[in-house]
Amino acid sequence: MDNFELVILLLDATLRTSTPLILAALAGMFSERSGTINLALEGMMLGGAFSAAAVAYYVGNPWAGLLAAIATTICLSLLHGFACITHKGNQVVSGMAINILMSGLTALVGIALFAQGGKTPSLDHESRFQPITLPGADAVADVPVLGSIYSELLSGHNILVYVAFLAVPAAWWVMYRTRFGLRLRAVGENPGAVDTAGIGVVAMRYRAVICSGVLVGMSGAYLSTAQGASFLQDMTAGKGYIALAAMVFGKWRPFPALFACLLFGFLDAAATRMQGVILPGIGEVPVQLVQALPYVLTVILLAGFIGRAIPPKSLGRPYVKER
Amino acid sequence: MHQMHGAGETGAVQPAIELRGIDKRFGAVHANKSIDLKVEKGTIHGIVGENGAGKSTLMSILYGFYQADGGTIHVDGRLCDIKGSEDAIAVGIGMVHQHFMLVEPFTVLENVILGVEGGAILREGVDKARGELKRLEREYALDVNPDAIVGDLSVGLQQRVEILKALYRGAEILILDEPTGVLTPQEADHLFRILETLKQQGKTVVLITHKLREIMAATDNVSVMRQGEMVAHRKTAETSPEELSELMVGRKVLLRLEKGEAAPAATVLEVDNLCVETSQGVRKVKNASFSVRAGEIVGIAGVSGNGQSELLEALGGIRAVTEGQVLLNGQDVTPGRGVDAAELRKRGVAHVPEDRHRMAMVTSFSAKEAAILGYEDDASYQKGLFLNWHAISDATKHLMSEFDVRPNDPDLKAANFSGGNQQKLVLAREIMRDPELLLVGQPTRGVDIGAIEFIHKRIVAMRDAGKAVLLVSVELDEIMSLADRILVMCDGAIIGEVSAADANERVLGLMMAGVDPHEAKAAEGQS
């Protein structure tokens, strides 16, 4: 295998590993730009993954699973919103509660329904999202460089990968070019300004967390019905938090967040590649060290080594009309 | 365009706003008691009252921010049911809030169109708004760059954005809530000129303020509120500041503080080349040098946010200084270099911070707990390992009667005292320790007129007892009536010094805006 092919393979894996991060990071962005901290991404992703796998298994169709995942995460978002927006609860506590709840609940329901130790049964071919071959991919496969970039790197992913990458410009457009986006950003900065402009703050924030729910639902469905073929207990393994870190690293903006997700995804893909590789002068790289890299990087990034991120001004603060 | 009417004397013209029997309670507080108010079309109508008189509540009801418990609102003679801001906007009411309702990272244009974007996609609306904004700016002489980021604008310009916002929504009636609190006198004058233009264009302006000078200068009619009630309506031309202040307080008040000549003695506080930076590395105080002598009050004037808060906090020992030196009676007490707030207290520096609720007291404490804060390790308060609550209670009672804190109940929660009584308690705590130097910030913010008089007298009494007093206040009137020497801060630097005898509002105002004192005086000489 030559180096070029190795790079293509690595980038190909990067796209696949960063997809759930991108969707979840955008989900986090919608919620946090409106002023609601969304630490619950992890738990929502888990809930989405479980619903998608379970429903896809029963119905035999991944789209049904996707819808179930989105429905689940919208419900969880509304729960988070009910605690944080309606009842002005602590957003971090509500988020963590949802994470803990979903970690336990998915395992519990999984055992009750399938009795496989918290797993869902493996999905067959029909019940998963399948790779899509882009038009002409086979025809150009033999063209050097560009051909293999197109046919191997860009073609052959499942629909959710493409959706995730298209969601980035779409989210940018919604955020910066529409009335909805303007109001959403305003409500996260100064809800008083939105209120006095005659727009309901609560309704606006609910709409934002629902957007967040839709996106993170797709991310969960991707894990269990596209990348994997079943739900495994705690299969998100911190991806929700990493997505959140990517969003913060991207300063609550879609394109920078995309690059952060790609970076994390690349490290993840590289970690898999590096296993067992013997580097000159160092010897075999310990697997654990490589696997820990994305998390270490998360800590470093969040500690603020790279630029200062200015969060939305009202982030984490429930809106109370002052007297 | 609306026709001009001579203050509605024709009788056929409906008042722009008529409130009938507006009533509002917040729990136990009766904020508005059956308020009636008529505002004539095409006039500037002032509403005065002390803090907590219910002015802002009344206007918030009119703007739909709160719902009244009873009463009706009529706009242009029509009964209106105003349930939210959108209803108020729909009947042509616009409001400029005391704390601006602006989204700082947005551009001026984005702030103006927020809520009236004119379509789901921004572009078309934005182009239309740009043209409309140009027109408004021309018509009312409100120049602002529509593409500037609001957070980068000065406070005066931000206020213009608020006015533009209201006009863009088609406001015929503009309510301004304490609009001059954050402005220099010159900026305030400019604002009043804008209001005059608005009036000439047929708009109706309601101006809420507690500054009588502004009422006298800018309004046609004035209504006075006291403790939730509307106590009087006057034509501005037929009333006087004395009458208005008496109506506001309910008794005669001395507007001018009586005090004798200062007799400054030895230097107590010597500040040399002091610099203070925030944790983000922003320099808030730039090379400040000055001294305060025993037996004098030195006032620091400046528009809020020009470094005076940081200077006071540094001198009080709660903010480290980056450069420079502070000497107290010749000894080095530079905060952050081994000297902290507790050490300064021991050496006779008392500090009444600017923000009563955030720094001066814990509002959920009882009065006696609040009264020993910072002095809780005093020997007379101890009984072995424990606090001697009997002694503390007695000491607090003494403080409270000495400073006329009402009710005289050491067990009452601090939050349940009025602002004036809270402030008197804090002052009592600091002054009764008989300090060498009193640092005091905004001593009368949110305090009623009666308490202001009392607090001012006590501060002057400190001076007459031969103590040094450093006063920081954004209220020019307060600085001018209390201080013997006035230092003016602008953008972190001390621009210059004026003696109280030479001080007037114009010179101070120019200096507060950063004009060199000599030029300011020259400009004063020409006018």
pLDDT for B8: 40
Q: Counting one residue from A and one from B, how many pairs have CB atoms under 8 Å apart?
A: 77
Angle at B245 between CA B244 and CA B250, to 5 degrees: 100
pLDDT of residue B10 exceeding 50, the answer is no
Phi then psi for residue A272, to 5 deg, are: -65, -45
pLDDT for B2: 44
Domain boundaries, chain B: 11-92+174-187+200-251, 102-171, 267-526
Percent of chain A with pLDDT over 90: 68
- Is the distance from CB of B74 to CB of B18 less than 8 angstroms? yes
Q: Smallest CA–CA separation between A29 and chain B, in Å?
A: 17
CB contact under 8 A, B104 and A189: yes
Cβ of residue B390 closer than 8 Å to a chain A Cβ: no
pLDDT for B214: 87
Q: How far does Cα B309 stand from its chain's mean position? A: 14
CB contact under 8 A, B97 and A189: no
Coil vs helix vs strand at B288: strand
Residues 262-291, chain A: which have Cβ within 8 Å of B? none
Of B86, B106, B165, the CB nearest to A186: B106
Q: Which of A63-67, B144-148, B447-451 has the highest mean pLDDT?
A: A63-67
Under the banding of pLDDT at 50, 70 and 90, the label for residue B417 is: confident
Name the CATH code of domain B11-92+174-187+200-251 (choices 3.10.50.40, 3.40.50.300, 3.40.50.10860, 3.40.50.2300).
Answer: 3.40.50.300
Cβ of residue B57 closer than 8 Å to a chain A Cβ: yes
Residue B111: list chain A partners with CB under 8 A.
193
- Is the distance from CB of B226 to CB of B53 less than 8 angstroms? yes
Cβ of residue A179 closer than 8 Å to a chain B Cβ: yes
Query: What tens digit of pLDDT does each residue of A1-40 get?
Result: 578 888 888 999 999 999 999 999 999 999 999 999 999 9
Alpha carbon dihedral B121, B125, B126, B131, in 10-degree steps, equals: 170
Instruction: Name the β-bridge partners of B174.
Output: B94, B205
Residue B125: list chain A partners with CB under 8 A.
179
pLDDT for B447: 80
- Pick from A102, A210, A209, A226: which is nearest to A161 by CA? A226
Of B89, B104, B120, the CB nearest to A179: B120
Kindly state the average pLDDT of the residues B118-134: 89
Query: What tens digit of pLDDT does each residue of B322-357 get?
Result: 999 999 999 998 887 878 888 899 899 999 998 888
Under the banding of pLDDT at 50, 70 and 90, the label for residue A207 is: very high
pLDDT for B6: 40
Distance, in Å, from the CA atom of B408 to the CA atom of B392, rounded to the nearest integer, reads 14
- Is the distance from CB of A22 to CB of A258 less than 8 angstroms? yes
pTM, entire model: 0.80
Residues 6+ apart with CB under 8 A from A107: A118, A233, A234
Query: What tens digit of pLDDT does each residue of B218-240 get?
Result: 999 999 998 889 999 999 999 98
Kindly state the average pLDDT of the residues A182-196: 95
A3-129+140-302 maps to CATH 2.60.40: no
Closest residue in A to B83 (Cα) is: A198
Q: What secondary structure letter does DSSP report for B416?
A: G
Output B62 or B211, whichever has higher pLDDT: B62
CB contact under 8 A, B105 and A198: no
Q: Smallest CA–CA separation between B119 and chain A, in Å?
A: 7
Residue B104: list chain A partners with CB under 8 A.
189-190, 313
Q: Which of A287-291, B53-57, B259-263, B435-439 has the highest mean pLDDT?
A: B435-439
Percent of chain B with pLDDT over 90: 51
Query: What tens digit of pLDDT does each residue of B469-490 get?
Result: 999 998 888 898 899 999 999 8
Q: Which of A276-280, A301-305, B29-33, B453-457 has the highest mean pLDDT?
A: B453-457
Interface test with B, best of A187, A196, A207 (most B CBs within 10 A): A196
Output B12 or B370, whichever has higher pLDDT: B370
pLDDT of residue B386 exceeding 70, the answer is yes
Of A55-64, A217-226, B161-170, B329-338, least confident by mean pLDDT is B329-338
Under the banding of pLDDT at 50, 70 and 90, the label for residue A152 is: confident
Domain boundaries, chain A: 3-129+140-302
Q: Under CATH, to which class is B267-526 assigned?
A: alpha beta
Q: Would the CATH topology of B11-92+174-187+200-251 be identical to that of B267-526?
A: yes
CB contact under 8 A, A193 and B111: yes
Distances (CA, A) of B451 to B288, B427, B495: 32, 12, 32
Residues 6+ apart with CB under 8 A from B394: none
Residue with token string 């904004």: B133
pLDDT for B98: 83
- Pick from B217, B202, B102, B194: which is nearest to B155 by CA? B102
Q: What secondary structure letter does DSSP report for B266?
A: S
Kindly state the average pLDDT of the residues A133-144: 83
Label residue B471 exposed, middle or buried (CB < 10 Å: 0-12, 13-18, 19+). Answer: buried
Residues 6+ apart with CB under 8 A from A112: none
Q: Smallest CA–CA separation between A182 and chain B, in Å?
A: 7
Under the banding of pLDDT at 50, 70 and 90, the label for residue A305 is: low
Closest residue in A to B109 (Cα) is: A182
pLDDT for B9: 43
Output B499-504 pairs: Cβ under 8 A, ≥24 positions apart: B504/B480
Cβ of residue A196 closer than 8 Å to a chain B Cβ: yes
Residues 6+ apart with CB under 8 A from B430: B350, B351, B352, B438, B440
- Is the distance from CB of B496 to CB of B488 less than 8 angstroms? yes
Residue B123: list chain A partners with CB under 8 A.
177
- Pick from B295, B343, B334, B289: which is nearest to B315 by CA? B334
Burial track B369-402 (b if 16+ CB lie within 10 A, e otherwise): bbbbeebeeeeebeeeeebeeeebbebbbebbee
- Is the distance from CB of A157 to CB of A14 less than 8 angstroms? no
CB contact under 8 A, B102 and A186: no
Cβ of residue B124 closer than 8 Å to a chain A Cβ: no
pLDDT of residue B495 exceeding 80, the answer is yes
Instruction: State how beta strands B437-441 and B283-293 pair.
Output: unpaired
Of A178, A190, A323, the CB nearest to B122: A178
pLDDT of residue B13 exceeding 90, the answer is no
Output B143 or A236, whichever has higher pLDDT: A236
pLDDT for B7: 41
CB contact under 8 A, A198 and B63: no
Kindly state the average pLDDT of the residues A178-186: 96
CB contact under 8 A, B117 and A179: yes
Kindly state the average pLDDT of the residues B157-181: 91
Percent composition of chain A: helix, strand, coil (DSSP 3-state, to 5)? 70, 0, 30
